[in-house]
Structure 1
Amino acid sequence: MNQSFFKILFAEDNESSAELLIHYLERFNFEVDHVVDGMAAELKLRKNKYDFILLDNMMPVLSGARLANKVPDLNKNTPIILLTASNEKEEVILAAHSKQLVGYILKPFDPDKLLVKIVSVLRIPADMIVDKKKFPFSIERTQNVSYGTGVKLNGCPYQKNAEKIAQEIAFVMKELPGSRKFFIEVSEEFYYHKKAQEILTSLITRLASKYEIKEEDILILSP
């Protein structure tokens, strides 16, 4: 049930480009912290430990190349990839002085190739990388001999929140069973979402309020 997540700091001042890459990486089991300038990146690196660092070179305040050579001690062994344009060769040479730099990628780039590079550098076994899109989320009404009527949450709720899931459960349930108690059966893939437990907690609160029952009247069945 426990899923490994890998934490990435991504510094990129082009927010539209950043959003695309963040969504792509978080489709897999990566957590991404995004900042828009080198100084903000340095502050993050002082306070949080990361598994990987992605630095756009041409950022405001402090360039990626210069930051690569002054990474705070907390992340002094964290591998770095520099994202750079083809006309920034001098900056790439500057960044190359960093022992943490494991490569650079020219823009525009293929996110699949970046993922392969990250997985290779971190030596992540293939069976530890989860593509959430392969586990589409669905809800079905079900019965259990011991617990009565309930719903089963199949797959991973990728890009869904507790409010949306509560609405979908209400649509599937229609109405409560006579006992005014029900269960939620959760698949193993549900926990591929990094906030799975947080979603479940909020889900119980929302459903208890909707049906005007106690939270303990909603039973969670986990694998």
Structure 2
Amino acid sequence: MKKKILFAEDEPTLAMVIKESLERKNYDVVQVSDGLQALDSYMIQRFDLIILDVMMPKLNGWNVAQEIRKQNKKIPILFLTAKSENEDLIKGYSVGGNDYLRKPFHLEELLLRVKELIERNKESREESVISVGRFKYSPIRQEIVFNENITKLSYKESMLLQKLINAQEEVLNRKTVLMDLWGDDNFFNARNMDVYISRLRKKLNADSNIQILNIRGFGYKLIMR
């Protein structure tokens, strides 16, 4: 299966050259031209690597990386920048970047960095399986496995399950989740989240020792007896 790359670059000629070079190496490339498009694409698709130009319209690469890191700590992020100051290099790493290329650069160097980051991420993915009661949960594949039966999760179902697990049997604050995953805690989004929680309960009901409790006025709590 082709590895999928999200590539955000607003300079058309450079974007075309890099995209074509990556595709010749058999990568599946989704190319966008501003930071908001990059975030939108990330939210609805699964990627193996993200390449971000730092200076983009609407939302710069650093801010895009910060938003992605709130949801995914492991996906590799490679920054491209015309900036040459060491402070910018430090900034890139501090917001969650894994690597950094200063423009202009040789395409061969970019392709080598891409290959290394994807290989490194592949190794970490193979280890990324979490036990949830009698289920095995893969955040990367967005699926749960029970007695060899695989159940796929939607993006939001997977993110909700991750947040419940990370809360470690404490109450998961309803408003915080709404702001993180929906961007607004209005009534309609709250009802939408209730639907996703209900779906998640049904997908986990094969293990009677797992419960997602509704703590009225506060949020949700994952119980694993």
Q: Give the TM-score normalised by the residue count of structure 2.
A: 0.49
Bigger RCO (CA 8 Å, 6+ sep): 1
Q: Which structure's CA Rg is the greater one?
A: 1
